Amino acid sequence: MGDSSPKPPESRFAVGKCTGDGVGQEAALVEFVSPIVEVADEYEAVQELFLARGWGDGLPVVPPTPGRVEAMLADRGVEGRDSIEDTFSDTGKMEVPPNWGEATLEKIAINAVMAGCRTEHFPVVVAAVRAMTAPAFNLYAIQATTHPCAPLVIVNGPIREQLGMNSGSGAYGPGWRANAVIGRAIRLILLNVGGAHPGSGDMSTQGAPSKYSYCVAENEEGNPWEPLHVERGFSPERSTVTVVAGEPPHNINDHTGSSAEDILTIVAGAMAVTGANNAYTGGETLLALGPEHAATIARDGLSKDDVRDWLHERARIPLERYTEETMLERFGRVPDGPVPMVGSREDLAIIVLGGPGKHSSWVPTFGGTTRSVTVGVG
């Protein structure tokens, strides 16, 4: 739906103090449309309440007591219920579809606490919400589609090291608090503020594990080119967040390539698949090169734009891989020749990610109606 879609009443959050069995402690109280609910200061009671009310992702949550939420907001120097000025929005507010709940600082903080964030993680979460609510990102479609996409958060700049984020071995995976909890906070915001619950607001046919947490930091130290945020006009000293409406990463294994052409030939084959939305609607995708692949490609004198041009010419799907019915439905005609997966230089974002090993990954996206968005942190 477009901007004319009706907007349901805004969801509301509130927090309060325990009046149950807890002695001098606060219990988690989060409410969206009803009066405040009181719950005993007991682990199981809190978890059962959140599960029963659909306020979580299925994993245990950190109780968002008033004290924890206030601590998360303390460094912002504003009242928790304050709206965040959103330069992308006509209303000046950050609204999260499909329910169009307003993402105030308080609501973001509550979900960040639930996810296990520390206070220093909070500015990254706020920046990611701002990027996701930009019109170019098309969050309404990303939230409600049957496609298994999820916002991939890519962090650049000094804040990567300040937060101890993982940009090396296993960057997409577990074991690093900052990556895990920032990504999880984003998902909880999409669920609790946006209303994207599986089978109702979120209609993804099969879903994806990336819908729990999807957050990485670029390996700028292993990047032979400019990192993503510098390429997009930010200074190297500026910390940024980029959001991409991506599927889970598709691995690209090439252990034998000794030249840029060798490696990119395998990359082109991995990208030229008919199952991706981009095979029909075009649009931007993400290539995350492992440091070893990136080093070989750069050693042979190729820039990022050279990589994009090379893949534009060679990452193409032969028409025989489509059915005629599919081509007519998706393109409205039978194309004249093989379908490019990189329509233009602007249609391929490139980062360097991971540790030792000759692996890279390609991240298909929701397709031609979404673009990645980069914003500064703080």
Let me know the angle formed at the C-alpha of 57 by 124 and 182, rounded to the nearest 5 degrees: 15
The candidate with the shortest Cα–Cα distance to 360, out of 254, 244, 238, 228, is 254
Whose tokens are 């004198």? That residue is 301
Whether the link from the prior residue into 98 is cis, omega within 30° of 0, is yes
Spatial contact of 373 and 243, defined as CB atoms under 8 Å apart? yes
pTM of the model: 0.89
Whether the link from the prior residue into 335 is cis, omega within 30° of 0, is no
Spatial contact of 194 and 211, defined as CB atoms under 8 Å apart? no
Q: Report pLDDT for 14.
A: 37
Q: What is the DSSP string of 67-101?
A: HHHHHHHGGGTS-TTPPPP-TT-SSSS-EETTTTE
Q: Report pLDDT for 23.
A: 30
Q: In which residue ranges of the chain is pLDDT below 50?
A: 1-35
Q: Report pLDDT for 34.
A: 38
Spatial contact of 95 and 134, defined as CB atoms under 8 Å apart? no
Spatial contact of 28 and 79, defined as CB atoms under 8 Å apart? no
Whole-angstrom distance, CA of residue 346 vs CA of residue 313 = 14
Q: Report pLDDT for 89.
A: 59
Using DSSP, state whether 45 is helix, strand or coil: helix
| Strands of the sheet with 215-217, listed across from one edge | 215-217, 150-156, 240-246, 373-376
Using DSSP, state whether 142 is helix, strand or coil: helix
Q: Report pLDDT for 219.
A: 98
Whole-angstrom distance, CA of residue 53 vs CA of residue 31 = 9
Q: Rounded to the nearest 10 degrees, how much is the dihedral formed by the CA atoms of 237, 243, 247, 250?
A: -10
Q: Report pLDDT for 21.
A: 31
Using one digit for the tens of pLDDT, what is the confidence trace for 118-128? 999 999 999 99
Partners of 361 in the beta sheet? 251, 288
Over the Cα atoms of the chain, what is R_g?
22
Tell me which H or E stretch contains 313. Answer: helix 304-314
Count of alpha carbons within 13 Å of 228, Cβ hemisphere only? 31
Q: Report pLDDT for 142.
A: 98
Tokens, residue 209: 């594990």
Spatial contact of 148 and 367, defined as CB atoms under 8 Å apart? no
Q: Report pLDDT for 36.
A: 62
Spatial contact of 357 and 272, defined as CB atoms under 8 Å apart? no
Mean pLDDT of the chain: 89
